[in-house]
Chains A and B, each alone.
Chain A
């Protein structure tokens, strides 16, 4: 009996050692989504305004607000005509406002700006797009106008880093401005039959610009600053026939530029390209893109798409920018939101609830 036990024990040990020798690492990782906190907005009361810790914005029409680093509600209000939201603060504006009040994430008034138009917050800077759609101005910390420029045609795309502002025009031109609003360069992608700028993104360092322009074909171009000026690093034709503003964004950790494209059959997809253009992957969406974020320190992109086949349907997708999607989570909601949360978490807004999610590999 004892001998048999020793044989079984020895055999088990040999099998275990053999297994460990053959598979020294886990067979694979599983991505787990853990809900850390959940806030029901109708019952929540904002926390005290004393803190200066970073806050994380959310927008769930008709509400918007901020979550603090503990995952509690810091501030909440109703959207007037529109809201420009950034991590540092917001401007809640009416549709015909000529005065804009910039408030921090706790709702404290920081500056008042006298300007007609709609505000845009980028890289800690405050811009206002003029009522006619062809004027851009930047406003300083005391509410003073730093610069203002008018453009020869309608502004169709806009982005800025701390040092570089880039304006895309209906005429197909891209205008680069310095910190004082002075023009430093113009660029026009010339391969398309019809020149139009549909989307652009400036990376955080202000050294790369992703541009979607032209009709027949739509072309994505990544321009890089070579020390003197921005020059195209690569161009790629798109299947898109969208003729509409295109969301395009750099994801630094993932080393990719990601954009939405819609083909002739109105099938929507996300296209991911490496910065050098040598590798591309596409992810089919169930409908139009509704949000796209990269949790801090993670190379997993999180997309929120509307489900065009189902009323009030949404889908949350986790994607590493490769040919395979990591997870698809369908759900129903009247309104939904995806954004970055504290400590590398995600904020998922579903109707009047904000969930703090954490992606974990295990």
Chain B
């Protein structure tokens, strides 16, 4: 029943998102030629990145849509105020329950007198402000009604993309095994892996590129696992929401549940009995470009 409601909620969200996308035709990228430096849901400082990190030649940027300035923060010496890890910050209300937030801004570039911003207005300048080892713009889009951060790539205009996600490595990690069994690598496309029967966690290292820029090395958008032709697992970097004090990707996986310590993605657990399993992993980017890995898992022959 819980699963049914999860599907209903997911479908409902997609319907809302699609209709919003149609309505919000005026959304724009903050720069003419932005490069996505880090993607939505990417692992960062032991947590999810809940927006995009963008770099561009020009440090001045525009809002993703016109809106009302509802929050503007600069570093302050007043001990009553908290330090800002995002440096200078500005948040806009766009109506229809959407808000956008921009961080790592030069505090001197934020004009206190501005109350509304049009599409063509310069919001400010980004840079190495706050907890930012480089010079990038932090962009978040928040759906107040759903209480979710939404992947900006789903709302911003589609940019030409010719690359596909790259699967760098696939592992099978034993679950609840006695002793410390190392993960078993799945080396090449169409390979056969022979492991003892039991439960195995499927793990993946993959990346995507927005193309053109050295810096654009981001997380893929979705992962699907099929075992013997049936869907075993699916998750997409659509939204991040909070439950029980933890951010959850697509309302499900906490950061600890989704990424291992090395940054590999934990997909599903497969149950290997006496028979072989045909496993297919599909990795998609946000425009649907697909990279697929398939392999067979054979149980070790009984002695």
Do these two chains really belong together in a complex? yes
A residues contacting B by CB (< 8 A) are 59, 61, 82, 84-85, 95-96, 98, 116-118, 120, 129-135, 148-159, 170-171, 181, 183, 194-196, 198-199, 201, 215, 241, 243-245, 247-249, 266, 289-292, 337
Interface size class of B (residues with CB under 8 A): 35 or more
Question: Could you tell me the distance between the alpha carbons of A154 and B140 in the complex, rounded to whole angstroms?
Answer: 10
Query: Known interface pairs A59-B77, A171-B147, A244-B72. Does A116 touch B45 (Cβ–Cβ under 8 Å)?
Result: yes
Are B144 and A171 touching (Cβ within 8 A)?
Answer: yes
How far is B171's CA from A208's CA once the two chains are assembled, in angstroms? Answer: 53
Q: Which of B41-97 contact A (CB under 8 A)?
A: 44-47, 49-50, 68-86, 89, 91, 93
Residue of B nearest to A177 (CB): B245
Task: Say yes or no: A170 contacts B131, CB within 8 Å.
Answer: no
The interface residues of chain A lying within 8 Å CB-to-CB of B46 are 116
Q: Assuming A96-B131, A96-B133, A243-B115, is B247 touching A215 (CB within 8 A)? A: no
CB of B97 to closest CB in A, whole Å: 11
Q: Complex formed: what's the CA distance from A247 to B80 in Å?
A: 6
Contact call B44/A131, Cβ cutoff below 8 A:
yes
Asked, given contacts A150-B246, A170-B142, whether A249 binds B80 with beta carbons under 8 Å apart, the answer is yes
Would you call B245 and A247 a contact (CB within 8 A)?
Answer: no
Q: How far is the CB of B51 from chain A (nearest CB, A)?
A: 8
Asked if B142 and A241 sit within 8 Å, CB to CB, the answer is: no
Q: A85-B79, A153-B142 are in contact. Are A135 and B101 (CB under 8 A)?
A: no
Contact A129 B246 (CB under 8 A): no
B144 (CB) vs chain A CBs: closest residue: A171
Residues on B with C-beta less than 8 A from A135 are: 47
B70 touches A196 (CB 8 A): yes
- Whether A152 contacts B131 by the Cβ 8 Å rule is no
Q: Which of B47, B148, B245 contacts A181 (CB 8 A)?
A: B245
Tell me the residues in window 188-218 of chain B with beta carbons closer than 8 Å to chain A beta carbons.
none
What is the distance, in angstroms, from A311's C-beta to the closest C-beta of chain B? 16
A194 and B73: CB pair below 8 A? Answer: no
Residues B83 and A133 in contact, CB atoms below 8 Å apart = no
- What chain A residues lie within 8 Å of B71 (beta carbons)? 154, 156, 170, 196, 198, 243-244
Instruction: List the A side residues contacting B222 at CB < 8 Å.
Output: none
With A129-B82, A130-B45, A194-B70: A152-B241 Cβ-Cβ less than 8 Å: yes
Chain A residues closer than 8 Å to B76, beta-carbon distance: 245, 247
* Interchain nearest-CB distance for B119 vs A (Å): 20
Q: Min CB distance, B84 to chain A, in Å?
A: 7
Nearest B residue to A201 by beta-carbon distance?
Answer: B80
B interface vs A, CB < 8 Å?
44-47, 49-50, 68-86, 89, 91, 93, 99, 101, 103, 112-113, 115, 128, 130-133, 138, 140, 142, 144, 147-149, 241-242, 245-247
Partner of B70, one of A98, A116, A129, A215: A215
Query: Would A129 and B83 be within 8 Å (CB), given that A134-B50, A215-B70 are in contact?
Result: yes
Q: Are A133 and B89 touching (Cβ within 8 A)?
A: yes
The answer to whether B45 touches A154 (Cβ under 8 A) is no
Contacts of B74 in A (CB 8 A): 244
Cα(A249)–Cα(B71), bound, Å: 20
Query: From B148, which residue of chain A is reached at the shortest CB distance?
Result: A152
Q: In whole Å, how far is A271's beta carbon from the nearest beta carbon of chain B? A: 14
- Name the CB-closest residue of A to B241: A152
Measured CA separation A264–B112 after assembly (Å): 11
Q: A266 contacts B73, CB within 8 Å?
A: no
In the assembled complex, the CB of B20 is this many whole angstroms from the nearest CB of chain A, namely 18
B65 to chain A: closest CB distance in Å?
Answer: 16
Residues B78 and A291 in contact, CB atoms below 8 Å apart: yes
Given contacts A116-B46, A132-B138, A289-B78, 6 further A-B contacts (CB under 8 A): A59-B77, A181-B245, A215-B70, A245-B81, A245-B82, A292-B78
- The chain B residue sitting closest to A98, CB to CB, is B45
Once the chains bind, are B112 and A133 in contact (CB under 8 Å)? no
CB distance from A82 to the nearest CB of B (A): 6
Chain A residues within 8 Å of B45, by CB: 98, 116-117, 130-132
**A247 in contact with B78 (CB, 8 Å):** yes
| B-chain residues with CB within 8 Å of residue A159 when the two chains form the complex | 80
Question: Are A150 and B70 touching (Cβ within 8 A)?
Answer: no
The distance in angstroms between the C-alpha atoms of A135 and B130, with both chains bound, is 15
Q: Is the CB of B80 within 8 A of A132?
A: no
A351 to chain B, nearest CB (A): 15
Give the residue of B83, B112, B149 whose beta carbon is less than 8 angstroms from that of A120.
Answer: B83
When C-beta atoms are compared, the residue in chain B nearest to A182 turns out to be B245
A347 to B131, CA, bound (A): 31
Contact B49 A96 (CB under 8 A): no
Contact between A133 and B103, CB atoms less than 8 A apart? yes
Contact between B50 and A95, CB atoms less than 8 A apart? no
A215, B68: Cα distance in complex, Å: 11
The one of A149, A158, A194 that contacts B93, using a Cβ cutoff of 8 Å: A194
- 9 A-B residue pairings within 8 Å (CB atoms): A117-B85, A129-B85, A131-B44, A131-B85, A132-B138, A154-B91, A194-B93, A248-B80, A249-B80
CB distance from A362 to the nearest CB of B (A): 31
Take A117-B131, A150-B242, A183-B245 as given contacts and tell me if A243 and B72 are in contact as well, using a CB distance cutoff of 8 Å: yes
Chain A, residue nearest B45 (CB): A116
> Within the assembled complex, what's the spacing in Å between the Cα atoms of A131 and B45?
7
Asked, given contacts A95-B130, A117-B131, A132-B44, whether A150 binds B247 with beta carbons under 8 Å apart, the answer is yes
